[in-house]
A and B are shown apart, each in its own frame.
Chain A
Amino acid sequence: MEHRGSSEEPSSENAPQEPARNVGRRRFLGYLVAAPTLAVAAHLGQSTTAPRAADAVIPSPPEQSEIYDLNDLLTLAARPTSNLIAVVINSDGTASFDMPRAESGQGITTMAAMLIAEELELPLDKINVTLADARPELLFNQFTAASNTAISMYEPIRTAAAIARERLLGAAAVQLGVTVDRLTVRAGVVYAPDGRAVAYGELTARAASQRTTEVEATLKDPSEFTVIGTPRNRIDALAAITGRKTFAMDRAVPDALPTMICRPPTIKGTPRSVANADQVRQMPGVTHVVQIATGIAVRAKTFGQCIDAVNALDVTWNPGTVDSESDDTVLATLREAEADFSLLHTGEVVEGDFVFHFRNNAALEPNTAVTDVRADRAEIWAPLQAPILCQEQVAEQLGLPLDAVTVHVEQAGGAFGRRMFNDVVLEATEASRKMGQPVKLMWHRTDECRQGRMHPMCTSRVRASVSGGNVLTFEQLHTSVATDYTQGFGEIISAKVGTVPSMGMANEEGYAKPVFNATVNVPYHFGSVSHGLEEIYTYDTFPTGSVRNLVNPDVRTAQELIVDQIADKMGKDPYEFRREFVDDDRVRAVLDKAAQEGEWGRDMAPGTAQAITVHKEYKGATACLVEIDCRDETVNRDVRNAVTGPRVTKVVMAVDAGLAINPRGLQAQMQGGIMDGIAQALTSSLHLRDGVLLEGSWDDYFYTRHWNAPFETRVIVMPPTTGEPGGAGELGVPSAMAAVACAYARATGTVPTSFPINHDTLSFTPKPTVPPLPPSPTNGLKFAY
């Protein structure tokens, strides 16, 4: 697909290449697409990077994740499908790009617009990026996960835009009667030396191709970048702050009335019968009550009336999958499944044993799908990370051909892994079919907490041995409730796992363990390094998934707590120790930067402390310096209906993403990762009791709030290192969570072994499970301010 140093094949029969852009550059292949205005397409795909070299201290051999990480897998999965993404130049001078990825706040539409703006030399505000409907011909290429979008889209989008620019210049040359090398472009207008000008919009018809043909393009050299690498605001910021940004819930589809589901009291229970459906149908606003696979669906004029109707239903339920399970029974099962350490740990042993509890992955926008099912077709509007899979599932569910199902991907109000699962769409489809009406199905917040997806509960045990100023061994054994990779991840991994070096297994073990080994590493020269995963239950016993990262927040927190203990045993400063032992120069650079900017080692009051940690993943590296306040007056500060506890007062993170396409967007992603890290270390978890998750809303599921957010949060973006973008969405969480845990240990003198640290104290009264939804209060005016 990519050619080096080729100089033939001008991109347009009328337009010789500009010499300055052509010498010695990599050439990229794209397509002119037959269309009335200029449309240029390019393949998705990108190159892999080499493993790093080892040095100094006792080197650890490269781990699998360093040679062949999850993103390489995803990129590989994308490659053979050889499908196209297209940039279109409109006659009004704007460019359009229909992006086969889900935007859920991570900033990828802005990133795409920046890539187009760079190569096309068109202002950002003239570039429209929309989300593509499900395109089944893209196969694995329409899957948003593992922070892969920037990595896989960086070259294809630029290639399409660069070809478009060359083609437009060619058309301008003909129109202006000037050779291409004498033309200049500014903000979407092509200028001749004498000042005559013609805009892209006037050129697009002439630049269009009557047949689809292959062409090559030269991309800008990074030294010429004026957009990539510069901080830009989000292209949808104005829409967001004026309330005009449209989510699935705001989509006005005729007759798609609000619909909610009455759900069982225990995880994955199912409905047996309804005693009073007719009565509930008579309630104000209610139009339909039907039984579906997961519960009783109610359609009404307003969601408020849905809530009332759901709570009025008298339903008999079948048991769920885990009715006899609680936190302690799951932990006991995990303990039974734990493997034995296998390395020979000679010398002084440092070890730790950590428990990480279930945590919810719901976004703030609840699961929502608008569905219109007719006899011969169906149309879906929903935020989806795996829309092709969704389309396939709906077609199968309804017995319709794939092309009779249209799936529109909506902007998501957060995703974090939840929107890889299409359950809300399948419920909406079933409800719409049974009701014979379009529906706008929304999960209540309480459904999200109690029947949603969660990060699996797990234990992580680490044993290391130390001798003579060196770490000889470092072994980590992770034992987890099974993670459900079947939605999307499973599809990709199962398709590719058999062909990847040293991962030649393909079976039940073919999902979780390959993902674990492709994502986990110990970023230090610790001699003989080993890590392994054991899982309990089957993938669907508990409804599980990722929560803004897979295993690394937990895995790396366990590791970094042990790293601090090893440093302590050697009498070394935690920063200096890491500096000496990190196995990667990029990691060392971010570590130095965070230590320097965060004033590592400054005097801290008793009960407060600093900690510093690192992480590398997604072709990037982070270091995070945290200051925490664990003094009684802080821990016990009073906020109404809230947990307070220790407060992270300051965070300084340095991040090297290889190449930050939009440093401002990268900072935002790291800040979000920090807030997740704080929540996961200190406050946010689910409590399981007899098959019920006790949490039922945001007043008992304690995600970070304003009163727990740091007063100062700084993210320093390192200058480009590899020249290729890495992933961002999940990159910030592991070092942040680890740093908060380490800071807590240093401030209190007690190493925490159970996360979040407040889990063992239930600090709220659980909401009832019957009726399933908490009624909306009526005293809201009392709290007006």
Chain B
Amino acid sequence: MRTHTFIVNGERVHVKIEADVRLLWVLRDVLGINGPKYGCGINVCKACTSHINGKAFNPCSVRVGDIKGGDEITTIEGLPDTVGEDLHPMQKAWLERDVAQCGYCQPGQIMAAVAKVRQARDEGHEISDADIDEIRNICRCGTYARIREAIKDGAEKM
């Protein structure tokens, strides 16, 4: 068992645990970072969506041993700091549209939305319905209509 070190929400962490434990459990069960949620454990529901070096990923499907010392993990808790505000523009859009219901999937939805907007821009266009159709995050309350609106609002402020 070795000590793994990487950066989470701007802070360097050291975790002594088996290398094959998936990062989600290191975040939740070891570090007590509860924003990323468990919903399937097989990279399907996307409730744990977080960022690694600015890209969306699912820590339920990445071994902690595969995270490098220089990797920066951002969970919903660290998203506002990435823009130096109390809230990221996407979170503000979520509030304005009153998107959340139970709220369980929403940290993952927001993290996915931010990455999807960036991805579209990297490809040279603004986010469209077709891009939103590619987001795989499940919302069992069925807030998809407001998510769709909020992503477009949030993108304008990003």
Contact = CB atoms under 8 A, between A and B. Distances in A.
Interface of A: 104-107, 233-234, 236-247, 249-250, 252, 258, 284-285, 301-305, 307, 362-366, 411-414, 416, 442, 444-445, 639, 641, 664, 668, 671-676, 697-699, 703-707, 709-711, 713, 773-774, 776-781, 783-785
B45 A781 contact: no
Interface string B1-45: 100000000000000011011101110111010111111111111
Nearest to B97: A233
B113 to A, nearest CB: 10
A681 to B, nearest CB: 14
A711 B40 CA distance: 27
Contacts of B52: 781, 784
A785 B116 contact: yes
Contacts of A107: 101
Contacts of A236: 100, 103
Interface string B77-91: 100100000010001
A675 to B, nearest CB: 3
A706 B133 contact: yes
Contacts of A698: 39-40, 44-45, 138
18 contacts: A237-B99, A243-B35, A304-B25, A304-B29, A365-B39, A413-B102, A668-B141, A668-B143, A672-B142, A697-B45, A698-B40, A698-B44, A706-B132, A706-B134, A776-B42, A776-B43, A778-B61, A779-B61
A301 to B, nearest CB: 7
B101 A106 contact: yes
Contacts of A778: 20, 22, 61-63, 66
B41 A668 contact: no
A776 B22 contact: yes
Contacts, number: 240
- With most chain B CB atoms within 10 A of its CB, the pick from A641, A672, A675, A706 is A706
A673 B25 contact: no
Contacts of B107: 241-243
Given A363-B140, A774-B42, 7 more contacts: A105-B103, A284-B18, A301-B30, A364-B141, A672-B141, A707-B134, A777-B61
A707 B147 CA distance: 12
Contact of A242 (B1, B25, B76, B119): B76
Interface in B89-140: 91, 94-95, 98-107, 110, 115-116, 119, 129, 132-140
Interface of B: 1, 17-18, 20-22, 24-26, 28-30, 32, 34-45, 47, 52, 55-63, 66, 75-77, 80, 87, 91, 94-95, 98-107, 110, 115-116, 119, 129, 132-148
B95 A237 contact: yes
A412 B137 CA distance: 19
Given A104-B102, A706-B136, A671 B145 contact: yes
B41 A776 contact: yes
Contacts of B136: 705-706
A242 B39 contact: no
A446 to B, nearest CB: 8
A495 to B, nearest CB: 30
Which of B26, B42, B87, B143 has the most chain A CB within a 10 Å cutoff? Answer: B42
Residue of A249, A673, A778 most packed against chain B (CB within 10 A): A778
Contacts of A364: 37, 39, 45, 47, 102, 104-105, 138-141
Given A363-B140, A668-B146, A445 B41 contact: yes
B104 to A, nearest CB: 3
A699 B44 contact: yes
A698 B136 CA distance: 10
B94 A241 contact: yes
A414 B140 contact: yes
A673 B144 CA distance: 11
Given A776-B41, A777-B61, A703 B140 contact: yes
B42 A105 contact: no
A720 B70 CA distance: 58
Contacts of B102: 104-105, 240, 363-365, 411-414
A497 B101 CA distance: 34
A699 B104 contact: no
Nearest to B96: A233
Given A673-B142, A774-B42, A781-B66, A242 B77 contact: yes
Given A241-B106, A242-B77, A706-B136, A711 B129 contact: yes
A302 B29 contact: yes
Contact of B138 (A249, A411, A705): A705
A780 B137 contact: no
Contacts of A699: 40, 42, 44
B63 to A, nearest CB: 5
Contacts of B115: 785
8 A-B pairs with least C-beta separation: A243-B35, A675-B142, A105-B102, A240-B103, A413-B104, A780-B61, A672-B142, A713-B145
Contact of A783 (B20, B22, B57, B116): B57
Contacts of B98: 233-234, 237, 664, 668
A545 B42 CA distance: 27
Contacts of A240: 100, 102-103, 106
A105 B43 contact: no
A243 B77 contact: yes
Q: B44, B94, B145: which has the most chain A beta carbons within 10 Å?
A: B145
A784 B46 CA distance: 12
A676 B101 CA distance: 15
A252 B146 CA distance: 32
B43 A233 contact: no
A105 B57 contact: no
Contacts of B137: 706
Contacts of B62: 778, 780-781
A261 to B, nearest CB: 14
Contacts of A785: 55-56, 115-116, 119
A413 B37 contact: yes
Contact of B143 (A671, A676, A779): A671
A30 to B, nearest CB: 31
A337 to B, nearest CB: 32
Given A237-B95, A241-B94, A777-B43, A285 B18 contact: yes
Contacts of B106: 240-241
A304 B18 CA distance: 11
